[in-house]
Chain A
């Protein structure tokens, strides 16, 4: 189950309460709000159960006739359970998912939300296109996008200073980046805390690096036409292997997973830089609690040599989604929950309790943490994009993750690996067109 868990762990609360009312004809009589309705919600434990409970409680206060029964399934089994639920058409009413085409792996189980979505929601919530048919904002939505997530790089100001680098001027171009790495290495500091074992680290790099090589049209269709053998992807991997050859990553990174070791290592100051996420996971809030704490800095991933962008863009998009299952007995009630999660008030709560970035344009997250504030400013001002990795399907991700350690140790050629990944991607059922 190596789903794009990290596809930018935008474990942002995608409160999508999709109420699948397939059995509505029978339930119609019973679904009058007079009767107490119980909604079973599945999530994989991120955002934290505590923050979800807060939201549940708030919702239940506003809707006395509805009870939320939240079930935290282990992440590693989450999607297996979703498959079995799909097969039996029983189980949860509302399920957490990613805001990406990965949702379509379960399209059979998810209720289209067209008739529930209001015009206001369509306008105010960012990210409908990623969970709708044909990946178009006007397509049929299978889930409600929730929260935002993006890829950024963190660095350790104290270690930068120690290596003679300006802690307030992190590298921007590839040349500067290499120079910084070299300086850190010479100072006996691991330049980049990294781990390839579970593949997620590479995923984030691939997205931020390969997108810079893509033409606008390629980047625009990177969700519907996944071309893993594109030179852009190949070049991004070549850059990574080059960094590895130069010894800039944690030694033996191929044996270290990203979760939790790499993150812990960066937190414990065993690496000067690390690629991470913006919101609710592997982000500044977590690092603040670690040893790196007040020395934390955030930077944009470097511009690649020969890339198409003059200035860096921000990899950012909706993080999570909430969907209603087709067998839910009371889809209307379930959608009420989704609606609640999408409101500015709820999103403010979610940000406060677990830094889920809001995706409702009507609200802004405010934080006193300078790093958080900086990232939020980027979200508000920078042009954003989403790369091939963010928009991949689950089996593709599984294949990619498996191959990453072998690519980094050169046991498999980049060309070969991309061929295998493309083969898996080709096998996936197409994204629904309606």
Chain B
């Protein structure tokens, strides 16, 4: 079937560029991997070392903690998009402003915020200026704050994309629905809950999927430029640790094992989410 030509290119490209390397990684996770040289078989030693290490437990905890950011990263853009939709005459300008951070490379954002959140940086300076000097912190170095700060910076960085996506979705809702609701005395919050959310549910789900995936495989550049996983391991994520183990320390075998574990976790999380989504849809 000539039609197979439609799907062949994508399969080849992904197969060579991604699937083969992944297969290589899985295979090598059972070895003392020395890329380019002989890699002796070590069985499950890498996995044992990984699963028994305290640092890895800390890392898993960190990832779980960051999941708490998902409601924030979803609700915030949703609310703002709603406000823009209903209240603001020229939403385009605002959308641009909000989207600006999303266009900046995470590395750059990291550099920027390292500066802004420095002990003598603008954030603390402003707090002092308005008399809230007691609230100043060593934002990036305090262990208790490492993860919340990351959640905050990610909120800043992803808000724009979320607003744009939700705003577009909102424009697809028939205005009559809103008008009718307003006439019946629904306030803004009720409109949001009963009209907006159900109407764009699939978009919200898409957004959450993007967030979840990013959280597990895409936070690396932020961690790298904001905290380097520190202090200690309090803000290390799995993908950052893989990077560190492989490319900073040269523990390729261990990193490979960790990568396999990550893939399993992501499969479980996304798969689990998909199942939940399907279950809810069939009930609706």
- Chain A residues 393-412 with CB under 8 Å of chain B are 394-395, 398, 402-403, 405-406, 409, 411-412
Residue in A closest to B124 when the chains form the complex, CB atoms: A252
User: 9 more A-B contacts (CB under 8 A) besides A87-B36, A255-B119?
Assistant: A1-B248, A84-B247, A252-B120, A255-B140, A394-B248, A394-B249, A395-B248, A395-B249, A402-B231
* Given the contacts A105-B250, A254-B141, A402 and B228 also touching, CB distance less than 8 Å: yes
CA distance A398 to B248 in the complex (A): 8
Residues of A within 8 A of B250 (CB): 83, 105, 395
CA distance A409 to B144 in the complex (A): 12
A98 CB within 8 Å of chain B: no
Contact yes or no, A411 B232, CB < 8 A: yes
B91 CB within 8 Å of chain A: no
B51 to chain A, nearest CB (A): 17
A61 CB within 8 Å of chain B: no
* Given the contacts A403-B232, A405-B231, A251 and B119 also touching, CB distance less than 8 Å: yes
17 intermolecular pairs with C-beta atoms under 8 Å apart: A2-B248, A80-B247, A80-B248, A86-B36, A87-B35, A108-B37, A252-B138, A254-B138, A255-B119, A255-B138, A256-B119, A394-B249, A395-B249, A398-B248, A402-B230, A402-B233, A409-B141
Name which of A105, A256, A405 has the most chain B CB atoms within 10 A of its CB.
A405
A391 to chain B, nearest CB (A): 18
CA distance A256 to B232 in the complex (A): 16
B106 CB within 8 Å of chain A: no
Residue in A closest to B119 when the chains form the complex, CB atoms: A252
Residues of B within 8 A of A409 (CB): 141-142, 231
CA distance A256 to B141 in the complex (A): 9
Contact yes or no, B232 A406, CB < 8 A: yes
0/1 string, A99-116, CB within 8 A of B gives 1: 000000100100000000
Residues of B within 8 A of A229 (CB): none
A261 CB within 8 Å of chain B: yes
CA distance A251 to B36 in the complex (A): 48
Of A79, A105, A255, which one neighbours B139 at CB under 8 angstroms?
A: A255
0/1 string, B77-96, CB within 8 A of A gives 1: 00000000000000000000
A197 CB within 8 Å of chain B: yes
A25 CB within 8 Å of chain B: no
CA distance A2 to B227 in the complex (A): 13
Residues of B within 8 A of A255 (CB): 118-119, 138-141
- Chain B residues 223-237 with CB under 8 Å of chain A are 228-233
Of A89, A252, A398, which one neighbours B36 at CB under 8 angstroms?
A: A89
Residues of A within 8 A of B230 (CB): 402, 405
Residues of A within 8 A of B231 (CB): 254, 402, 405-406, 409, 411
0/1 string, A372-406, CB within 8 A of B gives 1: 00000000000000000000001100100011011
CA distance A261 to B140 in the complex (A): 15
A3 to chain B, nearest CB (A): 8
A88 CB within 8 Å of chain B: yes
Band of interface residues on A: 20 to 34
0/1 string, A218-260, CB within 8 A of B gives 1: 0000000000000000000000000000000001101110000
Residues of A within 8 A of B249 (CB): 394-395, 398
0/1 string, B232-258, CB within 8 A of A gives 1: 110000000000100111100000000
* Given the contacts A108-B37, A406-B143, A406-B232, A256 and B118 also touching, CB distance less than 8 Å: yes
Residues of B within 8 A of A80 (CB): 247-248
B110 to chain A, nearest CB (A): 12
Residues of A within 8 A of B138 (CB): 252, 254-255
CA distance A251 to B137 in the complex (A): 11
Binding site for A on B (CB under 8 A): 34-37, 118-120, 138-143, 228-233, 244, 247-250
Residues of B within 8 A of A394 (CB): 248-249
Contact yes or no, B118 A88, CB < 8 A: no
B21 to chain A, nearest CB (A): 13
Contact yes or no, B36 A412, CB < 8 A: no
Residues of A within 8 A of B232 (CB): 402-403, 406, 411-412
* Given the contacts A88-B36, A406-B232, A83 and B247 also touching, CB distance less than 8 Å: yes
CA distance A87 to B228 in the complex (A): 25
Residue in A closest to B35 when the chains form the complex, CB atoms: A87
Residue in A closest to B138 when the chains form the complex, CB atoms: A255
Residues of B within 8 A of A105 (CB): 250
B236 to chain A, nearest CB (A): 9
CA distance A394 to B228 in the complex (A): 16
Residues of B within 8 A of A403 (CB): 232
CA distance A394 to B139 in the complex (A): 27
B48 to chain A, nearest CB (A): 15
- Chain A residues 63-110 with CB under 8 Å of chain B are 79-80, 83-84, 86-89, 105, 108
Residue in A closest to B232 when the chains form the complex, CB atoms: A406
Contact yes or no, B247 A405, CB < 8 A: no
Residue in A closest to B229 when the chains form the complex, CB atoms: A402
Contact yes or no, A197 B248, CB < 8 A: no
B196 to chain A, nearest CB (A): 41
0/1 string, A168-192, CB within 8 A of B gives 1: 0000000000000000000000000
CA distance A57 to B35 in the complex (A): 36
CA distance A1 to B140 in the complex (A): 19
Residues of B within 8 A of A405 (CB): 141, 230-231
Residues of B within 8 A of A88 (CB): 36
B10 to chain A, nearest CB (A): 27
Residues of B within 8 A of A108 (CB): 34, 37
Residues of B within 8 A of A84 (CB): 247
Residues of B within 8 A of A89 (CB): 36
Name which of B37, B231, B232 has the most chain A CB atoms within 10 A of its CB.
B231
